[in-house]
Structure 1
Amino acid sequence: MKWLSFFRTIQAKVIIIYVLLILIAMQLIGVYFVSAMKTSLTSNFTKDLQERAELMSVLAAKTLGGENESEDDPVESLRVMVNNLFNLNGAEIQVLDSTGRVLTTSLPTHADYVGTKNTQTVVSRALQGIRDNEEYIIDDDNIRKKVVAKPVIYNEKIVGAIYIVASMSELYGTMQRINNIFISGILLALGLTAVLGVILSHTITHPIKELTRHARAVAEGRFTEKTPVFGSDEIGQLSQAFNYMTSRLREALSQNEEEKEKLASILTNMSDGVIATDDAGRVILMNRRASEMLGVEGEELAGREISSLLGLEEPEAESLAQGGEVGSKLLEFVPREGGQPVMMRVTFTPIHRREIGITGTIAVLQDVTEQEKLEASRREFVANVSHELRTPLTTIKSYTEALESGALEDKQMGPRFVGVIQNETERMIRLVTDLLHLSRLDSKEAALHKEPTDILEMLEDVEDRFSFQMKQKRIRTLIEIKPGVSTAMLDRDGIDQVLDNLISNALKYTPDGGTITMGAAITEDGMLSLSVKDTGMGIPKKDLDRIFERFYRVDKARTRNLGGTGLGLSIAREIVRAHGGSISLQSELEKGTVVTFTLPLKDEGGSAT
């Protein structure tokens, strides 16, 4: 298996290709070389035989033609010539007469051929005067032989033939030795080629392996490692490009992580809730603020649809699931476990992806509960102001018209009508004054002038200011100062106004013979606590939460008849808040009311000048 995987590597492929190229090249060269060598050797061998046969035919022509200058036997002369002059290794030379009968042979072992007729085809062709006669034969011993026959012509007459048959074993032996040498050379060359291929492939594959290793490191997030550059060739340039790409990728990922952290931080700390859905309307992301607003946890969102989460109607849910732009919608959401209802403005925006289309929706949830409450309070405030101003204006207009109609001449009705107009005018002046005071407090334009104030003295002054009204209604006034109360940094005019409003309300709603108690104490957290307690009619429990709202009255008709504007407690609350304190009210029907407000003893909280 290991070898199989090795053969799949680039290094093995380079080695194999390199060796195969060399092998094919050497095989082509070898085939051409061996073929050319065989052709050359065979041609030379045949040519040598042809030349010997030609020379033998010339020398034997006179003897066979009957012209013999020596006294020896012609056949003996031919035998001597064949044996001595034309001796060939592994070859047989026969001299034939014109009938094809063997006159002599160079091989003693074939002496019995003398006198017999040679019937070879090449002999017949030679006796016919054909000069180019040759052929290959394989004898009984499986030896290749070359046969050449030449006619012997004397005086333009064929007087015989020369027959030569030569063994080609030596020639083929030589060729076999050359082939063996060539094969040995090929094997040696292939061995050297394989070694060189390993070295060459290593120089190529080693940088590639390094690139692969560093690519895995980059894939695993290790961007600090650099690929070594082994040269300036293409692979070296690739390594440099890879290092540059790694650095750019590191920078891009760092910027991406930074942007992702910024986005996550923004989503987490946004005052608005954000919900992201997929193309099917299922929630895939929700920030912490959205979870708080909806009262759900992150693990509850798996596969949940935003339409059911927000309680959308079926047409809106289908439009949202299809990625349609639902727009903006005001919803009232009641959290689980009996939480307070929340007014939310939900804005839906589709997510578009290039070449795909709408892939989801972003829903932005804005808690507009306070805004809606403020808007409702503003509308109610405008309505109350209009009503409070319209009532005295209507009265003034009616009495003015009556005076114009002649009532002014009536000595009894005239002064009475003028007195009513004067009272209503004073009432409007008080209302406008209180509204201006509230406006300055809301806009922080009412500067506080804090100074060391004796608490006991301040309460006694309040008691003196209302002593006449107290005596008229036979109301008893008490001042209770707890130990530790002495002085505090207060805006004396502002706190006097708070106490005057509280004492005035206590006087209005406490029956004759009742008691009003002003108290001062130090709380556990070091704050000054001032309270006004009466034994009046009290306030219903359902009205306690709204008692400090502007123009809010428990008994509107009675309060208006008593001359109140409905702004006293609101002004008191704003003054106390400007000091950095708080105010609260406890009351029980037919038992009385206690209004308590706390103030810092030192100059802290609020804006003091």
Structure 2
Amino acid sequence: MLKSIRYKLIVLYFLLVFIAMIIVGVFITDQFEKYHLDLVREQITIISNNVVRDIVQDIDLRENQQEIQQNLTRRTIPSGYEISVIEGGSYDIIASTNTEFVERKSFEVLEKSVILSSLSNRITELDTESSDNNNYRVKHMAFSFMENDENEVDYIIYARASLDTIYRTLSKSTLILIQGTVIALFITIILGYFISGSITVPINTLTVKALKMAKGDFSQRVHVKSDDEIGQLGSMFNYLTEKLDSTLLEISSEKSKLDAILNHMADGLVAIDRSGKIIHHNPSFVKMLGISERDIQGKSYDRVIRAFSKELEFSSIIQKTSSDSDKNVIFETRDKKILNASLALFRDDLGRTSGAIVVFQDITESQKLDNMRREFVANVSHELKTPITTIKSYTETLLDGALEDSSLARNFLEVIEKESDRMSSLVKDLLQLSHIDYKKVNWDFRPLDLKEVVEDSISKMDMYFKEKKQNLDLNLPPNEVRVVADRVKFEQVLINLISNAIKYTQPRGNIKISVDTVDNFALVKIADSGIGIPKEDVSRVFERFYRVDKGRSRVQGGTGLGLSIAKNIIEEHGGDITVKSELGKGSEFMISIPVDNSVDML
């Protein structure tokens, strides 16, 4: 491309020089021809007026014809010139440097038109081609004179001059000029090549570097060698490259920041253009909706979102954001996630809608917590309402006269005391959960022998075992099992689990308690042969206020918070508590906490 431009510049330069030299050559040739013709004209005029006229002036042409011829022949006339004297009345040639013309009619041997024209114009000039085969040009000039001041011409001096020498000189000059032009053109072609190179080579360099810039290499710079327009162009190119490199670096940095923010934000985000096509989305968007990249590839936004909520279609977004209606949409996904979609439009510089942005927030946990909070309040209210109602009704009965019957009054007071104990136990458990939730519990972690803690807990529940005549199978390791724990709270967990095993195991049933270590974890298992837990309830037994058999639990004094408290205590110890159960075949609770290998126990 640039080579083509260079060749075009050379050709253009050549043509311009060629045309200029032709014009100059034509002008010089024309001026040279004019100059020589003026010399001939001037020469003829001088010869006619100063030489020939002196011979024929004031004498009779016929009487002195021989003398005129002799004088004319003796005079020095330049080579190539021919002078004839013509009598005015008869137009006969009286004398001539060409003796063959003497005594002949001038119209026969000379140009008649020139002779006749001289009669009125005094001086007449004409250039003609020669009549012979030599084919050269001849200048004719005629001068008419009236010596007697009458209206008749006395004589005419007719001069002819060959222009052959002049035109031969002109031809040679033209040839020399052409040769000079060719040489000059050859020189100008060489100069043009180098001159055009001084233009096209920098442009070629700029083009190559611009091509590299287009491919992403913005380190390109050109070496500026001059202060002319090409040099200024190179300087501007370097300035443009630096600014472009700096600007793109800033844009790239900002884009990287934005991409990092969008790709790592927990909320899902999708951007839609005015035609409803997805122009950007982050990984959280597809993750929240439970879809894959393949599901949205080549599809419009409406086709993707229609399966979840029609309120999120593009037309609905525009309608919602253009009005005062709520700009949030809550919907549920296929995998039971609850999402909150926030809608917003973005516009161009003219205020026209360019598209929309939808931000998806996963509010499943917050909704679940809200539901749990409402359920918790309802459960607490329900748990407190029952004993309060019982206390109130028994108290009213006593006040209405039941105090008079001592045995009945004692019965009522025992019920009131029992319900008060239930409320006290419930409030105590609620306070303990609240302290655990808000990290207000004072923990007393110390190295302990887990075997000793388990034995103490069993001894405290020994009376209940004997009351129901249940069989206890205790399996303890021979060596110490060292753990770091809060003894009081860990015993609370063990007593709660052992108490539940006793409560929900029939008389003469079997309860097995074991301690073991596996992979640096101490395991405490409490298994019973009791009523067991239905399969659908196993995963929920650690929820607050959750009871498998609500009526029976209340009769046996349960609050529904014991297992929840136990799970929180064990988790604070860095352990876990799990349950395996089968309805009618009993349950097995397992506690695991890390073994303490740091120091020897005293």
Q: TM-score, normalised by structure 2?
A: 0.88
Match of 1:118 among 106, 116, 124: 106
Partner of 2:538: 544
Q: In structure 2, which of residues 347, 357, 360 is the aligned counterpart of residue 362 of structure 1?
A: 357
Partner of 2:196: 201
1:150 aligns with 2:182: no
* 2:391 matched residue in structure 1: 396
Q: Is the counterpart of residue 78 in structure 1 residue 57 in structure 2?
A: no
Question: CA contact under 8 A between 1:539 and 1:589: conserved in structure 2?
Answer: yes
Offset, 1:318: 5.5
Over residues 61-80 of structure 1, what are the superposed CA-to-partner deviations in whole Å (9 max), with x where a residue is unaligned?
2443578xxxxxx3332222
Residues 210 and 227 of structure 1 are in contact (CA less than 8 Å); yes or no, is this contact kept in structure 2?
yes
Amino acid at match of 2:103: G
Q: Return closer, same or farther for 1:125/1:538 CA change in 2, 3 Å cut-off.
A: closer
Distance 1:244 1:577 in 2: 65
1:330 alignment partner in structure 2: 330
Conservation of the 8 A alpha-carbon contact between 2:84 and 2:96: yes
| TM-superposition CA deviations, 1:27-84 (whole Å, max 9, x none) | 44444443333333222311221221123123222443578xxxxxx33322222222
Q: Mark the CA change 1:125 to 1:18 in structure 2 (over 3 Å): closer, same or farther.
A: closer
Match of 1:61 in 2: 57
2:441 counterpart SS class: coil
Secondary structure of the structure 2 residue equivalent to 1:140: coil
1:64 aligned partner, one-letter code: D
> Is 1:527 matched up with 2:521?
yes
Change (3 A) 1:227 1:588: same
Residue of structure 2 in register with 1:35 after alignment:
30
Q: Where do residues 587-602 of structure 1 align in structure 2 (5 Å cutoff)?
A: 587-602=581-596
- 2:546 and 2:354 map into 1 onto residues whose CA distance is 52
Separation (CA, whole Å) in 2 of partners of 1:457 and 1:483? 12
Contact residue 62 and residue 94 of structure 2 kept, 8 A: no
Are the counterparts in 2 of residues 93 and 165 from structure 1 also a CA contact under 8 Å?
A: yes
Which amino acid letter does the alignment assign opposite residue 450 of structure 1?
Answer: F
Equivalent position amino acid for 2:70 in 1: V
1: CA distance between counterparts of 2:283 and 2:410? 69
Match of 2:448 among 444, 448, 453: 453
Aligned AA (1:117): K
- 2:312 paired with 1:319: no
Q: Assess if the C-alpha contact under 8 Å between 1:280 and 1:321 holds in 2.
A: no
Measure the CA separation in 2 of the matches of 1:317 and 1:487: 61
Where does residue 135 of structure 1 map in the other structure? 126
User: Which runs of 5 or more structure 1 residues have no equivalent in the other structure?
Assistant: 68-73, 335-339, 605-609
Alpha-carbon offset, residue 553 of structure 1: 0.8
In the superposition, relative to structure 1, how do residues 154 and 251 fare at CA in structure 2: closer, same or farther (>3 Å)? closer
Sort the Cα spacing of 1:592 and 1:65 in 2 relative to 1 into closer, same or farther, 3 A: closer
Alignment partners' CA distance in 2, 1:207 and 1:6: 10
SS in 2 for 1:593: strand
Contact 1:57/1:152 (8 A) holds in 2: no
What is the alpha-carbon distance in structure 2 between the residues aligned to residue 600 and residue 189 of structure 1? 104
Specify whether residues 31 and 356 from structure 1 end up closer, same or farther in structure 2 by C-alpha distance, changes over 3 A only: farther
Q: Does 1:577 align with 2:565?
A: no
Are the counterparts in 1 of residues 318 and 345 from structure 2 also a CA contact under 8 Å?
Answer: no
Determine the C-alpha separation between the residues in 1 that align with 2:121 and 2:354: 99
Residue 8 of structure 1: how far off its partner (Å): 4.1
- Measured after TM superposition, the shift of residue 14 of structure 1 is 3.4
The CA distance in 1 between the partners of 2:374 and 2:121, in whole Å, is 140
Distance (whole Å) between structure 1 residues aligned to residue 236 and residue 443 of structure 2 = 71
State the 1:502 CA deviation.
0.8
For the pair 1:501 / 2:475, whether they are aligned, the reply is no
Aligned length: 583
Q: Aligned-pair distance for 1:156?
A: 4.6
Mark the CA change 1:132 to 1:511 in structure 2 (over 3 Å): closer, same or farther: same
* Residue number in structure 1 paired with 2:92: 101
Structure 2 residue runs without a partner (length 5+): none
What's the CA shift for 1:547?
0.8
3-state SS of paired residue (1:433): helix
Distance in 2 (CA, whole Å) between partners of 1:148 and 1:543 is 142
Q: SS of the residue aligned with 1:546?
A: coil
Of all paired residues, the percent bearing the same amino acid is 34
Distance 1:541 1:327, change over 3 A: same
Task: Find out whether 1:293 has 2:288 as its counterpart.
Answer: yes
Q: State how 1:384-533 maps to structure 2 within 5 Å.
A: 384-482=379-477, 485-523=480-518, 525-533=519-527
1:102 is matched by which residue type in structure 2?
I
- The range that moved more, 27-36 or 41-50, is 27-36
TM-score (norm 1): 0.87
| Cα deviation 1:276-312 (Å, max 9, x = unaligned) | 4444434454433333333433233222244443414
Q: Residue deviations 1:409-447, cap 9 Å, x none?
A: 443333333333222222111111101101111122223
Shift of 1:477: 2.6
Match of residue 187, structure 1, among 178, 182, 187: 182
Equivalent position SS for 2:57: helix
CA distance, structure 1, for counterparts of residue 479 and residue 502 of structure 2:
29
The answer to whether the Cα contact below 8 Å between 1:510 and 1:534 also exists between their aligned partners in 2 is: yes
Cα distance in 1, alignment partners of residues 590 and 271 from structure 2: 48
Residues 555-577 of structure 1 show CA distances to partners (whole Å, capped at 9, x for unaligned) of 11121121111100000000000
| Matching of residue 15 in structure 1 with residue 10 in structure 2 | yes
